[in-house]
Amino acid sequence: MAHDVTLITGDGTGPELAEAARLCVDATGVAINWDVQEAGVDVMARTGTPLPDSVLDSVRRTKCALKAPITTPVGGGFRSINVHLRQELGLYACIRPCKQYPGVRSYFSQLGIDIVIVRENTEDLYAGVEFEAGKPATGELIEFINKISTDKKIKTKFEETGVSIKPISRSGTERIVRCAFDYARKHGRKKVTAVHKANIMKYSDGLYLQTATKVAAEYPDIQFEERIVDNMCMQLVQKPELYDVIVLPNLYGDIISDLGAGLVGGLGVAPGENVGPGGAVFEATHGSAPKYKGLNKVNPTALILSGMLMLRHLGEIDAAARLEKAVGDVIAEGKFVTYDLKADRNDPTAVGTREMAQAICDKLKA
C-alpha cells in the first residue's frame, strides 16, 4: 500500500535537500505518493504569503509531511513558518534524536551518545504572545501588571519595553511528559529527565516540574529525575553519556536540542519530528542556509534521517532501519560525503548534496 505524504520543499537550500531526501526514501522501495508543496520566502514573493493554504490543506489530508528547511527572518518580517505549522496542526511534541554516527567529527566520539530530546511545541515563550515597545496596548499591559502585583513590577517605561508572556499549563505539560515516557517505553529507554527553571520561575516552570513529577509516578518502570536548565547544559558537556530521554518546555528544548546536536557532530546530522493529533511533520533541526542556495554543497544527512523517522512513523520499520544503516555506512566510509563530514573541510574529494544522496541510494540497492 502506498503512503500519502506531503513534501514541503522549503527555501534557501531546502529544495536541494528535499530532492535528496525524497531520492533516498524512494530508494528504500516503500511506495510514497508525494504531494509536493512550496512554502517560505520564495513562494511569498509570488503569492504574498510564505505559507499558502494549500500547504496546510495537504498536511491535514495526508497527516504526514517531510519538510525541508524554511527561512525565519530575524527581528522582523513574517513569523516562523515552523512555529505556525506546529500550532495550526496541533503538533505539540518535537522529538529530536541526538545520536553519534562513526565518522562524524565530535569531541565526544568515544562516548557513543544516543540522547532523545522531547520538546513541548505550543506553549512557553514561543506561544508568541508578545507586546511591542511603544504600543498603547503594551503600556496598558504594563500598567495592569504593576497595578495587580504587590512586589513584582515592570519599572521601565512602555516606550522602551517589549513584553512576552510565558504560558505553561498543566494539560500541556502532562501530554508532553507523557509523550516522553511513552517514547521511552516504546524504544526501550531507561530514564527520563525533566528540565526546568523552577527555582526562579516558580509559577510557570514550577507548575511544569510539579506536573512532570506527578506524571512520572505513572511510569514506575522508567527512572525519573529533574535538572535545572543551566545545570543541564553543564551536565551535557561534562557527562552526556548519563542521559537518555530529556523532556523540556519549548524555549529550553529549542536551545538544548542544538546543544545536543553539537555533542554528536552538528546540525547536519540532527533530524527531528513534530507529532500531535493533526499528524506528523518531519524536518531537519538546522535552517535553510540561504547563502549556499543552488551550490549543491550542504549536508543532506539531517533531512534524510528525518525521512528515516518518517518511515518509522508510517510503520515501515525495516525500510527505516535499512535507510539509517545506509546513511551510517556512507558516513563511516567517508568517501562520498559533503565537506563538513571530511576531516579537512577543504578536502577536494568532498562531494555535493546530490552525490552524497546517490551514494546512500547505492548502499540501499547493494
Catalytic residues: 126, 197, 230, 254
State the number of CA atoms in the 13 A half-sphere of 333 facing the CB. Answer: 15
Cell of 344: 579537512
Question: Which is nearest to 250 in space by CA: 129, 97, 123?
Answer: 123
What does the alpha-carbon distance between residue 46 and residue 49 come to, in Å, rounded to a whole number? Answer: 8
What does the longest C-alpha to C-alpha distance in the chain come to? 70
Cα–Cα distance measured from residue 343 to residue 213, given in angstroms and rounded to the nearest whole number? 44
Residue 192 φ/ψ, nearest 5 degrees: -120, 130
CB contact burial 5-15 (16+ within 10 A = b; e otherwise): bbbbbbbbbbb
The residue type of 168 is: I
Residue with cell 535528496: 20
CA dihedral of residues 12, 250, 93, 41 (deg, nearest 10) = -20
Q: Are strands 191-196 and 223-228 parallel, antiparallel or unpaired?
A: parallel
- Cα distance between residue 98 and residue 95, in whole Å: 10
